[in-house]
């Protein structure tokens, strides 16, 4: 007879989570050490009661914004290479809906995120309850159905016994390297408190083994045939290579064959920036070296990449090359009409290295790639030294009211973004974790940020979700308490979501926030102006009478003051010396800190051969719009179709 324990659904849920373990390469670790909760009426009296009143080994973190806590959980899971998670609990209605954005972020990046949004009553007796959205056509639809479009698995526990299959399926998806992403299990608030005789086996320790998928010999043979014929091959390292911990074996394989390497945003830091064959970031936000080699490559070897439009430059960068892919997911492996290997990155590269034997690229190609890397190092040095007034002319400054002088007058700054990044890179620990997500910073950092330590770059660029950065830094620090962790965030993204700063203070967790204030949404302002559109609502300007908002003066904001109010140490940097001084002081303190870095608009990196397919008007009003449309037609004529 099956042994059982009569407990509430909420207590069964917490007990189950506390007893889940992961085994990877023979190493066993706990899957859940923290849970994040922002209690409301939909969860505080059910799962919340269990978290508060029962014995368990979980550390409960108090969220300040549901989206923020879920972003922190996503960054934590990424920094743990997808082998540990922080489940998140919310109330119903707006609390649940706030996590939808974070769910999309996790799913787009293939990062495990487990969400428990509260739900309306399963009995429907008190309907409509507070925060319930009613639908004329169905009583079964609630706010939580919004998750279906952005998660990999969705379930609703409308009876206590349903919890068991829901949780086991959730873990199955979360720990599947090919299918992982967000999982949402809606928890009706009445069911959370109902009791059931749960089997002790379900409540006991359970070890989930994450297995490396071994490639078939046929797929290996197909790939080797393509690679051996290549004259100008290029390896593109994606996030799957990082999560597989394949960096060292990729370096060994590349060295044996002389094949250069380029990185995606998710793959950056799998291979050291100092590695002689690593050319750096590729694609729309790639550098000149990687893009030049990619443009003339005859074979692309994609390892753990989903080939987003930023990696392929909207399929225009290497559209004539044959593609070999290594990916645990069949869908991603099949992209670009590739010769595919559906398998684990580390195992596959190890096997390729053994069977490819005598193949090596020609000396001329090796010399060309080395020269491209050397040329980029010179360009990096130029970018790092740029200062206003020293021959520096920013891009897209075409209107009198848009001049750099105006921003300097408003902010008192003359510091360029590229110069600031170089100062920061030299002024912090070599193994520090850099966290980012949106705006112009991901482009500058994929080109300029050097990652000499593995897993030191936590950039969310699958969804490019503004608001991820600060919460992500907190989550990354929980995952890596012995490393310095920095959020690289623009002023626009900071204004969207910085609530988990309070959680960092509350928990005594030191993170550094490097806030780049360029007076608005600089990346999108560049996109407007680059397409010949008169800027509108992309700069933080005052309204000037009845004129469009673009004609007002810049709004001066003291972000350092807001950080001090939360309990952070805070500094303002308007030049190189102030930034260097602030970094030294901040690193010496044991408190979390923010540096408000006033950087000149238009002082970010751009170009280097990466084209991005964006919607532009087919009825151009000026010469720049005509040029943008002509470029799009020309690029599409050459771009791949797959």
Distance (Å, whole) CA 96 – CA 129:
15
d(CA 227, CA 258): 12
- List of residues 6+ apart from 613 with CB closer than 8 A: 309, 314, 316, 632, 635, 636, 639
Of 41, 8, 4, 610, whose CA–CA distance to 315 is shortest? 610
pLDDT one-digit tens code per residue, 165-182: 999 999 999 999 999 999
- Partnered with residue 30 across adjacent β-strands are 21
Residues 518-529, mean pLDDT to the nearest whole number: 91
Length of the chain as a residue count: 642
Give residues with Cβ within 8 angstroms of 356, minimum separation 6.
224, 227, 228, 256, 257
Q: What is the pLDDT of residues 564-584, one digit of tens each?
A: 999 999 999 999 999 999 999
Domains and CATH numbers, the chain: 4-209 (3.40.50.970), 217-377 (3.40.50.1220), 403-598 (3.40.50.970)
Residue 269, pLDDT > 70, answer: yes
* Residue 400 pLDDT: 39
Mean pLDDT on 473-500 = 98
Residue 389: the pLDDT is 64
Contact 76, 458 (CB under 8 A): no
HEC string for 408-432: HHHHCCCECHHHHHHHHHHHCCCCC
Question: Buried (b) or exposed (e) across 548-568, using 16+ Cβ within 10 A?
Answer: eebebebeebebbebbeebeb
State the pLDDT at residue 401.
43
Which element (helix H / strand E) includes 280?
strand 278-281
Q: Which residues pair with 154 in a beta bridge?
A: 184
Confidence category of residue 388, pLDDT binned at 50, 70, 90 = confident
Computed over every residue of the chain, the mean pLDDT equals 94
How far is residue 81's CA from residue 304's CA, in Å, rounded to a whole number?
13
Residue 625 has pLDDT above 70, yes or no: yes
Judged by average pLDDT, the poorest of 24-33, 210-219, 412-421, 467-476 is: 412-421
Between the CA atoms of 404, 409, 411 and 415, what dihedral angle is there, to the nearest 10 degrees?
Answer: 50
| Rg, C-alpha atoms of the chain | 25
What pLDDT score was predicted for residue 567? 97
Residue 10 and residue 574: Cα distance in Å, rounded? 52
SS3 state of residue 314: coil
Q: Residue 607 has what pLDDT?
A: 86
Q: What is the pLDDT of residues 345-378, one digit of tens each?
A: 999 999 999 999 889 999 999 999 999 999 999 9
Tokens of 424: 């920061």
Query: Does residue 403 surpass a pLDDT of 60?
Result: no
Tell me: cis bond preceding 153? Omega within 30 of 0 counts. no
Query: Averaged over 50-62, what is the pLDDT?
Result: 97
- Can you tell me the distance from the alpha carbon of 545 to that of 559, in angstroms, rounded to the nearest whole number? 27
pLDDT number for residue 395: 57
**pLDDT tens-place string over residues 536-549:** 999 999 999 999 98
pLDDT in tens, 183-209: 999 999 999 999 999 999 999 999 999
Of the candidates 317, 325, 315, which has an alpha carbon nearest to the alpha carbon of residue 286? Answer: 317
Q: Which residue has the tokens 């469009």?
A: 548
Largest Cα–Cα distance in the chain?
Answer: 83
pLDDT score of 189: 95
Instruction: Give Cβ neighbours of residue 284 (< 8 Å, ≥ 6 apart).
Output: 309, 310, 313, 314, 443, 610, 611, 612
Token match 């590695």: residue?
A: 275
Q: What is the pLDDT of residue 399?
A: 46
pTM of the model: 0.96
What are the pLDDT digits (tens) for 430-457? 999 999 999 999 999 999 999 999 999 9
pLDDT of residue 349: 98
């Amino acid at each position: 007879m099956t042994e059982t324990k009569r407990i509430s659904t909420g207590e069964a849920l917490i007990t189950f989570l506390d007893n889940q373990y992961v085994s990877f390469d023979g190493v066993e670790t706990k899957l859940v050490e923290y849970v994040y909760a922002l209690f409301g009426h939909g969860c505080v009296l059910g799962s919340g009661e269990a978290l508060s009143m029962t014995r368990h080994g979980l550390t409960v973190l108090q969220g300040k914004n549901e989206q923020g806590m879920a972003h922190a959980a996503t960054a934590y899971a990424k920094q743990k290479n997808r082998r540990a998670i922080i489940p998140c609990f919310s109330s119903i209605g707006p609390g649940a809906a706030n996590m939808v954005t974070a769910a999309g972020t996790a799913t787009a990046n293939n990062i495990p995120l487990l969400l428990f949004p509260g739900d309306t009553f399963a009995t429907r007796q008190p309907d409509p309850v507070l925060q319930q959205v009613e639908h004329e056509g169905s009583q079964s639809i609630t706010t939580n159905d919004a998750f279906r479009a952005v998660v990999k698995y969705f379930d609703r526990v409308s009876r206590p016994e349903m919890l068991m299959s829901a949780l086991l399926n959730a873990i199955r998806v979360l720990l599947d390297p090919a299918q992982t992403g967000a999982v949402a299990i809606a928890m009706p608030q009445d069911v959370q408190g109902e009791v059931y005789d749960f089997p002790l086996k379900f409540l006991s320790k359970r070890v989930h083994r994450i297995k490396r998928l071994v490639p078939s010999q046929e797929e290996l043979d197909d790939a080797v045939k393509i690679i051996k014929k290549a004259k100008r091959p290029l390896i593109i390292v994606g996030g799957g290579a990082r999560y597989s911990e394949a960096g060292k074996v990729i370096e060994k394989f590349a060295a044996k064959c002389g094949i250069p390497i380029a990185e995606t945003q998710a793959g950056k830091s799998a291979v050291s920036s100092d590695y002689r064959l690593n050319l750096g970031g590729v694609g729309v936000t790639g550098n000149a070296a990687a893009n030049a080699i990619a443009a003339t490559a005859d074979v692309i070897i994609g390892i753990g990449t989903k080939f987003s439009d930023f990696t392929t430059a909207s399929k225009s960068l290497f559209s004539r090359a044959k593609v070999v892919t290594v990916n645990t997911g069949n869908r991603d492996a099949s992209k670009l009409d590739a010769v595919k290997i559906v398998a684990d990155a580390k195992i596959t590269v190890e096997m390729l290295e053994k069977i490819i034997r005598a193949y090596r690229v020609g000396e001329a190609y090796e010399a060309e790639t080395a020269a491209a890397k050397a040329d980029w190092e010179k360009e990096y040095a130029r970018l790092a030294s740029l200062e206003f007034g020293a021959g520096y002319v920013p891009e897209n400054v075409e209107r009198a009211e848009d001049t750099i002088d105006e921003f300097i007058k408003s902010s008192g700054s003359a510091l360029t973004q590229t110069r600031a990044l170089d100062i920061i890179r030299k002024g912090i620990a070599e193994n520090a974790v850099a966290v980012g997500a949106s705006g112009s910073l991901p482009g500058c950092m994929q080109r300029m940020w050097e990652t000499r330590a593995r897993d030191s770059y936590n950039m969310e660029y699958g969804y490019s979700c503004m608001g991820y950065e600060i919460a992500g830094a907190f989550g990354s620090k929980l995952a890596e308490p012995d490393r310095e962790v920095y959020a690289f965030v623009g002023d626009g993204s900071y204004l969207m979501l910085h609530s988990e700063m309070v959680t960092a203070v509350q928990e005594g967790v030191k993170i550094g926030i490097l806030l780049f204030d360029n007076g608005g949404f600089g990346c999108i302002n560049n996109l407007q102006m680059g397409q010949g559109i008169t800027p509108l609502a992309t700069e933080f300007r005052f309204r000037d009478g009845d004129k469009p908002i673009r004609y007002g003066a810049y709004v001066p904001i003291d972000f350092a003051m807001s950080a001090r109010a939360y309990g952070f140490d805070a500094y303002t940097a308007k030049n190189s010396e102030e930034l260097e001084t602030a970094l030294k002081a901040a690193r010496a303190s044991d408190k979390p800190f923010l540096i408000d870095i006033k950087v000149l608009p238009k002082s970010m990196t751009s170009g280097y051969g990466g084209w991005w397919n964006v919607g532009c008007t087919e009825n151009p009003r000026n010469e720049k719009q005509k040029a943008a449309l002509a470029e799009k037609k020309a690029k599409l004529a050459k771009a791949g179709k797959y």
